[in-house]
Structure 1
Amino acid sequence: MNKTFDWALEFINKAPEEPGVYLFKDRKKQYVYIGKAVNIKNRLKNHFQQLKVDPKERKIFKESSSIEWIITKSDYEAFVLENELIKQYKPKYNVRLKSGSSYPMLVITDEEYPTVKISRKFGEIKGEYFGPFLPARTARAMKELIHKLFKLRTCDPLPKRSLVCFDYHLGLCSGPCADKISMKEYKEDAKVAKAFLSGNVKNVIYELYDKINDYTNKLMFEKAAVIRDQIKAIEMTIKKQEVIGVGVEEADIFYFSSGRAYLIIVRGNRIVGKDELKVQNEEFEEGNEIAIITDYYSKDTYIPKTIITNKDLEDLENLKQWLLKAKNKEVEILTSLPEQVEGFIKRNINIENVENLKSEFERVFGFSLPNRVECFDISHLDGKFTVGSCVVWENGSMNKREYRRFRVKTVNYIDDFASLREVLTRRFRRYKEMDNPPELVLIDGGKGQLSQGLTVRQELGLENLRVFSIAKKDEIIYTDDGKEVRLFENQELLKFFTKIRDEAHRFAITYNRKLREKEGLKSVLDNIEGIGEKRKEILYRTYKTLDNILKASDEELKKLGIPASVSQKIKEYLKF
């Protein structure tokens, strides 16, 4: 064994053969790694033996200068203490989730006139919780849908007034503040909203059909139309969700594979969301699954009745006890996936085998495939609405959470090189602040685009950053050390680089189109008499596109505060 690590043997020989927590510390007494064991000495010996074969173990010992321990009465106490210390000190080599908070949940508040709110901390708002929603933007979209379908109030707190606000005219609120709806009807809407969010909608749908008949018999056709829209939305949501016969009403499924972790949410016997759980260490080794699960539930998220994973968990009983004592939740934990869930994972989770890609990449380029690659593209329309995109490939898949978009500020004419320099400069500066910056950047373009990347790299002193460019059609990679690699001669590399390049192009085009639509709509409305800034903003917020405005009825526009004379001018102008 390397004499460099002889210092560790002195600590290991003194270690107790009892349960507890051990702590690797550096010279500044900062925590490098924290672990727990039934027998501290034996566990430390195992760490030491792994030095020959495990790069992570070598890094832990190399960066440490001392080992301390805390003896506990039981293995469970060690389990709890380990989690508390990791949460408090955040050691560099312990597996932790990147997100500092849990996924968002929706809450139907416990109030006289309930509303819907977003919360990332279970229990902080008094009410009934639904979710979590994966990815996070789903929660915002679902909240908007709840307002639109069930018209739960948007104001908070509930005011009392004689005139309703614009959200009432936009169809986002039923106006309880101005007594536009009875408390009984409002609470019925809140009840249906809860059923919609929970997925248990069968009985509620029958009730809604009864209400349609009732309103129709009373010639209350507008209210009947609102209920009809609610039924359509509920049925459409059910169709989109995939039924899995796991025999549980609610569950969190943790799926581990190839150094990556996924979370699949089941509520109301249906899969309602999935996402990859990103960890600080980029990858985690087999045996750290418990750390992922405990870290996830340490963030005050909702804990379901059942947890399912595809791995046998070493500390299964400790995890159950921790959930019961620390989180006051008795949970059933299953360590094998039902066949239907495995089918869902195969269809919906694309886990690439990167081993062939790694070997080909190193053979062709002479260095290891980085864990993270960022790709840039520029998009504009005749020099206007110039934008840049940055997409991220990380450990075998595109990481959409890390995507960035840039609106070019210093160039208002056609100059792709100047625009690219601005975008790269803004992004490359961030690399100096990142814990794990990319080792490779890919730019959509040829030698000219590559030279812009090299210029910015040199200006910012990023010596360890590799920069490539990829030319369309010929599919040639130009490298910063003068190589030209024809990708058609290597299918693994062709698939890898074109996938990232095409995603960067798509992301840039989407942002460019969005800016053009917004500015185009507003500039067109400027030409219509009777449309001021306020009406222009209302029309854009409601319809987004000219085509949608053209399809809107005069009655709809009237509810938005657009007089019949002005709506007529809008239709005439747009048809022309």
Structure 2
Amino acid sequence: MDALYDKQPEFGFGINPLNPHGSRPIEIVGARDRETLRNAIVQSCPRVPGVYGMLDRSGSLIYVGKSKSLRSRLLSYFAASNEDEKGGRIIENARAIQWETQPSDFAALLREQQLIRQFTPRWNVQGIPNRQRPVYLCLGRKVPQFFLAAVPPEECIAVEGPFHGAGRMRAAVDTLNKVFRLRDCSQKQVFRFAEQLQLFEVDYRPGCLRYEVGTCSGPCVAACTRAQYDEQVNAAQSFLDGFNDEPLVAIQDQIDVASANRQYELAGRAHRTLKAVSYVHRKLTMLASARNKYNFIYSVPGYDGCGTWYLIHCGEVAAVAAAPRDANDYKRMKPLLAQWSATLTSSIQRGHGPFPQTLSIVASWYRKQKDELGRTFAPEQAGHKYHRQSHVA
């Protein structure tokens, strides 16, 4: 007998930090065969927005998804036309399905992202044909450098993403470290800056050829001061912020020189690198635009009356609150609105708040759903907007 039926599995998705309405109910259905599992979904799954998770026979979460209509989406996995596709492959490995309704499609989108980051289900990141694993472009560590991470560490100076295509992202990271003359060596490497005092004069040898060819500042051989290295880090951060196209110019110069010297193989490699870095730059520019444009309250009605106000700051979801239902709710919310107004008008804060990963969702959401901008307003407009915005779908 499957382990799923030998013991009561633990299920549920846990706390949702972007849900101001309290925990949502979780439902789960399980069966040993596809037809029984499908019938259970027909009988109990609603046609509302939400997130769902596929569990294998041991009760482990193997896939997370979201939909505007949970019932329609889950039933699509059982369609005959889907047997050889991604959905068919997932459902073959599933022995139970759980779902959690959400008040809106936007809420479901945010919840799906949070769950994938929290649980990293194996079928969300591997084993699915043609799926590219998302990675984040990070700038940080003790002596900062560009690097990739599936889950960015907390000590990063800056993080942007997600990006897709591990191969081209590795090529982009390699180029960015060279253009900004940042190190790319092991974390075990000992670093020495020029201002560090030494008892004896020592001629250090670099750990690689990059310093010799001028693509690294040489923090391992005391070839630069910490301040000089930090200048390069600041330039690199401006690239992440979408304000610096230096890498594109440098690569194009390489292509022009190689072509002029009839070094066509070198020019071809540089052109492939240019494509990878151009992809990164395009997305960074798009995210920078979102940071500049999207600073407001976004009112999202809920199908079940659970309307939500999202504070969008520098393109990120910075805070959430239950939408006021009446004048008394609005009165109690006034101190929070004053805090939100101060956040939006601050000249110091520029994003990278508690939920920086939501930037890509917000940027994509308003690019595809331009009409939703009509549901946005400044905190000082809340008194005029709350009733209509909170109750009109």
Judge same fold: TM > 0.5, yes or no.
no
Structure with bigger gyration radius: 1
TM-score by length of 2: 0.40
TM-score by length of 1: 0.29
